[in-house]
Amino acid sequence: AKGKKLTIDVWDSYNLSLYRINTCELVQDSRGHWYACITVKDFPKIKCGTGQVGIDLGCKDSAVSSNGDVLTTKLTHQYAEKLAIAQRAKNKKRVKTIHAKIKNTRQDLIHKFTNKLVKANSLIVVGKIKSTSFTSSKLAKSVYDAGWFEIKRQLDYKCANAGCHYIEVNEAYSTQTCSCCGSRQDSPKGRSGLGIREWFCRSCKTTHNRDVNGAKNILAVGLGRL
């Protein structure tokens, strides 16, 4: 009403009061919620760790590290049934709300995973996958759900801010090569082998998790390049 003041309470979870505000822009998302996008003069530096890690990107699990850490963004599938009901009912507002929830959940999971990687390591090596080569295939939705581009985007700027080395390397044969002895004799190969998640190398008597083994080989390629 005319003459009344509008009061807005802001929860400063990022301690913005400690920094000089550069710009502030108000934006509205698909649900009609408003957000303040703020840039500051100086961004607080994050210290990187001392470890070294390789990352294997995939569709089943979005990312698996050579240390065995797993990022699974398919938790967003829990909203699939609610989304289908809203779409059948042609409830556009509900559909937008669910899509925003899925996006925010995926972003939150990726942020937590990448933050943990940067804080623990001084070198992060990621297998180079051209997501555009998958988006025209039946795997397009799986690739989008996995968030490969977002994982690499976050690692790129977070590593630059923390002084952590971030590189992408060719991941050819990384899942087929034994990370202990280098043999490819017993590893699962081709499309028929994609469903095999563990395999045994008879050359060095080692049992491998497919993705962790791939991440270890990716790290080895990165170390070789350095």
* Domain membership flag for residue 1: no
* Domain membership flag for residue 85: yes
Question: Most confidently modeled of 8-22, 53-67, 121-135?
Answer: 53-67
| Residue 67, pLDDT score | 94
* Domain membership flag for residue 133: yes
**Both 194 and 100 in a single domain?**
yes
* Domain membership flag for residue 39: yes
Give the global pTM: 0.75
* Domain membership flag for residue 220: yes
Does the structure show a pLDDT above 70 at 168? yes
Instruction: Assign 27 a pLDDT band (cuts: 50, 70, 90).
Output: confident
Does the structure show a pLDDT above 70 at 187? yes
Kindly state the average pLDDT of the residues 106-128. 93
**Both 19 and 94 in a single domain?**
no
**Both 58 and 116 in a single domain?**
yes
**Both 60 and 37 in a single domain?**
no
pLDDT digits 0-9 by tens, 57-89:
987 888 999 999 999 877 667 788 888 888 889
Please state, in angstroms and rounded to a whole number, the distance separating the CA atoms of residues 16 and 102. 27
* Domain membership flag for residue 2: no
Number of structural domains (the chain) is 2
Q: Which domain holds residue 101?
A: 51-225
